[in-house]
Amino acid sequence: MSDRPEVTLIVAMTQDRLIGCSGMLPWHLPSDLRRFRDLTMGHALLMGRKTFESIGRCLPGRTSIVVTRQSNFDGKGALLASSWEEALRLVPSGLRAFVIGGAEIYHQSLPDVTRMYITFVDGSFDGDTFFPPIAWEEWLLLREEIYPADAKNQHATRFAEFVRRTDG
């Protein structure tokens, strides 16, 4: 189907794929938040209900699409979808769909994702939510940038961009 949006995934995780703790990020990294804003600005954000609730609002300059099974959910300005497929249909024409979490939406979206922006966070954290396993042989690393911890970012990070291999 040619009218499907390009599906890009963006996530911060540890090497063991930890992404959350009690509905929140286990770390605070201003450099990663800035990268998230810069990459997603002007596009559509696809997320699950719990992710939307942890953010607490629609993010400015982006279309928020929330996947939820709750028919009475108050999305506070977000577009609501009852399934991953419906969420894709709600992406406005010409916009890239950025999948931003949580774990279940990441799992549902992975077959459709053609590009991933991953921030690998160095450190050991308590948490209860993990990114699904990745078949790395299906992905090609396009670029990466390594940043040591500093006064504003307490943990070293590696920003990586991957594209799905098309060479079979």
Q: Are 82 and 27 in contact (CB under 8 A)?
A: no
In single-letter form, the type of residue at position 101 comes to: G
Write the DSSP symbol of residue 152: S
Measured between alpha carbons, how far is 44 from 131 in angstroms, rounded to an integer? 21
CATH number of the structural domain spanning residue 30: 3.40.430.10
Domain that holds residue 55: 7-164
Q: How many domains does the chain have?
A: 1
- Whether 85 shows a pLDDT value over 70: the answer reads yes
* Nearest in space to 135 (alpha carbons), one of 165, 108, 167, 96: 165
Q: In this structure, is residue 1 part of a structural domain?
A: no
Of the candidates 159, 165, 161, 168, the residue with the CA atom closest to the CA atom of residue 13: 159
Q: Is the residue at 45 inside a domain? A: yes
Question: Residue 65 falls within a domain, yes or no?
Answer: yes
Distance, in Å, from the CA atom of 71 to the CA atom of 48, rounded to the nearest integer, reads: 14
Q: What is the mean pLDDT of residues 126-147?
A: 96
**b/e sequence 114-129, b meaning 16+ C-beta within 10 Å:** ebbbbbbbeeeeebeb
Kindly tell me if the per-residue pLDDT of 51 is higher than 70: yes
Note whether residue 82 is domain-resident: yes
- Number of neighbouring beta carbons within 10 Å of residue 64: 21
Whole-model pTM?
0.94
Q: Give the Å distances, CA to CA, from 153 to 30, 45, 67, 131.
A: 6, 25, 31, 22
6-44, pLDDT tens digit by residue? 999 999 999 999 999 999 999 999 999 999 999 999 999
The verdict on residue 2 lying in a domain is no
| CA distance linking residue 11 with residue 65, whole number of Å | 17
Please determine, for residue 87, whether its predicted confidence score (pLDDT) is greater than 70: yes
Residue-wise burial string across 143-152, b where 16 or more C-beta atoms lie within 10 A, e elsewhere: eeeebeeeee
